[in-house]
């Protein structure tokens, strides 16, 4: 495995080795897995250079009038409602034309480049609770359905902070809750959203890449990797197995849908660990699996697009077609500054099909308690120590 990067964050040397090896690799005669597409022709398959030139398709600037409308919707919600779980497009009332403008963003998320950035909000003028109302209220006009973000299927918001940054945080944690670079991964939801509450002192930018572009390049050049990804893997949770057992995952699945032909679900952390090491009682990652993990990481990085976000930006990313990563960042000694709030959404009207193997998981994330026909949501207004351990996906 000398040429493979069996670590969560591959070094630049491994990147160079990967591409040098690819440059001299003989053309494979292996066919792609049976039933999988040879090529995905879609706006969701893009390179960073291509998508950078399409800013008008993925960035929406809020006008002063629209910000006034958001503030009015916030004030009206606070008067008429006390439970944040009542937030919806009907309780967070925006002018019809503005609501329709936001609603059309869903088409870009599902059928366009796969992500949308809304710019112009100022979190510093709201209280912590008001920021959640604005975040979820605006989002309800984009994608109406909220999902849970934690293992218990209770919490609907996750605070992404460097829990080790204050100097008295946990000795070990998942990479998402530190200041290290995050490798490319999915969140196992339909639409992942970030509210950028506070940027890092330096670094920390979100990086997006098209999984469908990665798939096309693997299908053309590395069908062996597709075969590896289409087999069962075991992802460690790095938690008590009573709380979150290992996940048995087929990272690449085919879907019987014209809208979404394949589904990637992937994380290097689940197979390679980081500060917490993989349980030796689990099957060790094979050389083919590590090679596949490297291929996803390096091809995704080659085609990536780095977002230059500002405080107050809202990002919506299609987690079924895109993969995301993060730059490492610096907040200074003893400071926990960088702060993102993550939520999961979906748009039922878009009708993306799912394999039967995911139906129960999607019901858990997006459905209701079938006995009560309700959802019992917990809204964590602030980050609390230990809350990061409830996160279902950690980088």
Has this prediction a pTM greater than 0.85?
Answer: yes
CATH number corresponding to 50-350 = 3.60.130.10
Nearest residue to 342 via CA among 213, 221, 177: 177
Spell out the residues 6+ positions from residue 288 whose beta carbon is closer than 8 angstroms to its own: 224, 228
For residue 124, what is the DSSP state?
G
Distance from chain centroid for Cα 4: 25
Whole-angstrom distance, CA of residue 10 vs CA of residue 186: 18
Whole-angstrom distance, CA of residue 331 vs CA of residue 283: 38
Delimit the domains of the chain by residue range: 50-350
pLDDT tens over the chain, length 395 residues: 456 667 888 877 888 888 898 889 888 889 999 999 999 999 999 999 999 999 999 999 999 999 999 999 999 999 999 999 999 999 999 999 999 999 999 999 999 999 999 999 999 999 999 999 999 999 999 999 999 999 888 999 999 999 998 778 888 899 999 999 999 999 989 999 999 999 999 999 999 999 999 999 999 999 999 999 999 999 999 999 999 999 999 999 998 777 788 999 999 999 999 999 999 999 999 999 999 999 999 999 999 999 999 999 999 999 999 999 999 999 887 677 999 999 999 999 997 877 777 777 888 888 765 455 567 899 999 999 888 899 887 78
């Amino acid at each position: 495995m000398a040429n493979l990067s069996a670590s969560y964050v591959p070094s630049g040397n491994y990147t160079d080795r990967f591409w040098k090896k690819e440059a001299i690799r003989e053309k494979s005669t292996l066919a792609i897995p049976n039933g999988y597409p040879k090529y995905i022709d879609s706006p969701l398959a893009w390179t960073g250079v291509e998508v950078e030139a399409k800013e008008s398709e993925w960035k929406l600037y809020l006008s002063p009038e629209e910000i006034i409308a958001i503030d009015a919707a916030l004030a009206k919600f606070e008067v008429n409602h006390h439970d944040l779980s009542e937030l919806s497009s009907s309780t967070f009332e925006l002018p019809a034309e503005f609501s329709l403008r936001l609603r059309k963003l869903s088409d870009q998320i599902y059928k366009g480049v796969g992500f949308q950035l809304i710019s112009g909000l100022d979190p510093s003028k709201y209280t912590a609770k008001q920021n959640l109302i604005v975040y979820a209220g605006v989002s309800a006009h984009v994608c109406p359905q909220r999902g849970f973000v934690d293992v218990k299927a209770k919490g609907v918001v996750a605070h992404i902070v460097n829990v080790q940054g204050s100097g008295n945080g946990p000795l070990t944690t998942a990479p998402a809750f530190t200041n290290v670079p995050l490798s490319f991964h999915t969140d196992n939801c339909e639409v992942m959203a970030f509210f950028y509450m506070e940027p890092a002192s330096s670094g920390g930018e979100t990086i997006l890449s098209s999984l469908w572009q990665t798939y096309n390049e693997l299908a053309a050049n590395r069908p062996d990797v597709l075969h590896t990804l289409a087999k069962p893997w075991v992802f460690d949770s790095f938690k008590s197995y009573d709380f979150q057992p290992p996940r048995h995952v087929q990272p690449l699945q085919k879907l019987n849908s014209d809208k979404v032909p394949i589904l990637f679900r992937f994380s290097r952390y689940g197979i390679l660990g980081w500060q917490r090491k993989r349980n030796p009682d689990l099957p060790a990652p094979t050389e083919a699996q590590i090679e596949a993990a490297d291929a996803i990481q390096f091809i995704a990085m080659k085609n990536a697009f780095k977002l230059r976000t500002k405080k107050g930006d809202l990002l919506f990313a299609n987690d079924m077609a895109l993969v995301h990563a993060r730059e490492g960042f610096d907040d200074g000694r003893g400071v926990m500054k960088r702060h993102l709030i993550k939520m999961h959404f979906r748009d039922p009207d878009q009708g993306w099909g799912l394999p039967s193997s995911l139906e129960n998981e999607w019901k858990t994330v997006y459905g209701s308690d079938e006995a009560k026909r309700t959802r019992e949501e917990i809204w964590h207004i602030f980050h609390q120590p230990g809350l990061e351990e409830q996160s279902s996906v950690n980088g």
